[in-house]
Structure 1
Amino acid sequence: MVAISQRAQDIGSGVEAFVREKIVPYEQDPRRDHHGAPTEELVAELRDKARAAGLMTPHILADGSHLTQVETAYVLIRSGLSPLGPLALNTCAPDEGNMYLLGHVGNDMLKRRFLDPLKTGEARSAFFMTEPADWGGAGSDPSMMKTTCHKDGDDWVVNGRKVLITGAQGARVGIVMARSTEADSEGGACMFLVDLPDEAIRIDHVPNTIDNSMPGGHASITIDNLRVPANQMLGKAGEGFKYAQVRLSPARLSHCMRWLGACIRAQEIASAYACERHAFGKPLVDHEGVGFMLAQNQIDICQAELMIYWCAAVLDTGDLGTTQSSMAKVAVSEALMRIADNCVQVMGGTGVTDQTIVEQVFREIRAFRIYDGPTEVHKWSLAKKIKKAHRSAQEQKLAH
């Protein structure tokens, strides 16, 4: 286990107490949209409480610097103890990843205009990258991107389609990725900051999905002649994929952190149920079939936590950590799925009702196994690196 700084422990303790005492009581709050996601009114009320507690955006310090990734892990795990915790504390996706990206790549103007309202929790954001399969666009393979951009005077003009864009409905800040058709950027990707809503960015459909913890759902989008001033490009033309990696490795690890917190809480609920519920003359936990599931959950929680901290420590060295974050995403998401499933099973019929958050955690973790790259894509990427390393080793042997 890596060492946790005192400042992270202090912030994390405050976050945990806040979530357990102030946010958990809102889990049965009826202010939800048609899909079951928290309404903007509910999110605003939760964030007011976080501000009053001095805990808004706890992973970003007053001077604008971020906690280290190890420190962030300690805090974000505790923010996830309720599905509403990350929303209240402004540690949720996609905002947390977008703030990280802007903080590391954005210039002073972009930070003032787009990052500042995100840090204060006054605005939500969306990251426009994934494209529809029926269009042949980018999904897990971003090189397939079909949304294009070209220069027109002092502006760039963007056209294309996007899909499964989390939080687009109701967002005020957008980060849009498009492939440049300009010769000097050699067809590379570009990344733009835009104010939302914008008439050129049309929400076509917000489907119902298995998860519903994130306001705004996962929208399908048409971008029709979106004009963006050149000074709202993030970094340089053609370097969008590089900036995407700056965002994606930490962001997929942050998902692991938050959902580990949720599974820790689900384990607490299932354990309490098993200890208090009796069947066949003794508490459920005394039946090996039940007790062993909870024991395995405890093992998986410990292993997931170790994986998260290991990957966070790699990122803190300045390494992009793409290999490590891929391994963490696979290992943690699969472990959390086992934990959530066991919790439902231990609780029986109660586990599939909305009487506790266990049922929601199960649904959210099932979705988590897909977004930010499904398990199979990460394993395929890792297998390619194994093959490349083998070839390199063979070539070195031949050279000697």
Structure 2
Amino acid sequence: MPKRRWPTEVELNERLALAATWLKRHRIAGQQVWPVSAGGAEASLWGGTVDAVCAVAALRRCGRQIASILDDVDLGATKRWIKTRQNKDGSFRSGEFAFAGAEPTAWALIALYEIAPDTRSREIENGLAFLESCIDVRDGSVASAPDGELPRTMPSALTLWAFALWRHRDDLQDNIVSYLLRCQDNASHGWGVTSSARPNPGTTAQVLVAFQAARVPSEAFQLAVEYVVKQQRDSGRWPNSLDEWHTAQDRTSLQLTNKCANSGTAWCLLALAKLEDHRSRTACLRAVQFLIGGDQTISGPNLVRGSWALWDDGAHRHIWLTGQIVVAVAAWRSALPPAGLRREGMRLTNGLLTVLDFVVNRAPLISTLGVLGAVVALTIDTAGTGLRDQLVGSGVTFRQSLLTSGLATAMLGAVSWVYRGARNWRSRRRRE
């Protein structure tokens, strides 16, 4: 497992500045919009412009040093372009997909909120109304289109997120939350791309982000947080996932399947960034170290320098991926205490609690080793001399030390075992 070291402010600024420069460089020439991938010639709403907008907004909150890189990015012009992508029914279309549905519409509303928070307009109202039409009012599920076919987790989470930001229809937000909680896997407490799909950390994190935006009490999703933390790889990353779906419109188009790749690391880091428990903070630290400590490309041609790659497709650099990672890293950074005594105190507390977790999780082994040490101590013959005295000194002293250490270790393991049992009992009570 890699060493956990808190990145310095200089390191964070350098890496975020690289990402800001990369995002600025890969706008469509002469416009304030972005393609899906670097070098693309066609502007896209979902997967391109909306993720770049969210990243630019997040970077501008990271201080003047980074914000100055983006001085010539005009989000006002971007806002006007986004509005041109809206259909008469309130939905937004994206060049990446053959349909205009809940996902690009929700993303557009989220991006418009980042540009001008709380500034309601006719376009916002129409977009929210379209999302309402994608909701099944009987159970709170959300489908990609108003036909209601195959409700899925992602449109449900994104719709909840958009509604929460714009403070729209508390009753519908409650319905969607209830639906998502019913879809939660009973064993892992995660979510899959549909109510019957295998859970994955990326989709689970999408729900957690929406829940936090909607101010759902943390007790309602604490077990899902534990699931996300446990799914983190030793390197600090989370596995990516692929969301695939159909709509009624796809039957009459050449595109039969809609596909959306989700970055597990970006979504999980964003979901955990503002949580204050030490397991979440440790997971975030490992994720940030993975992202800026080696996964970000910091040299090479302008096409890749400052960006991240998805899986092993090193030849393609996606706007949405770098944008989402920037948003997540910036959210984690903003949730940290200010540099100084408060941050150092948090680091110390986090380290001590991590050690406690290590001891508690290995309570049976510690108890066993303690008992074995005590048994070995009782079998030592203190009358014999010779080689033993040369190695360990007095037999009586050695046996007493070993016995004391063994009993103390066994006691520590026993206390840890009892504590772990109480923690597991409380966790089971939360599941009921």
TM-score, normalised via structure 2 length: 0.27
Higher strand share: 1
The structure whose Rg is larger is 2
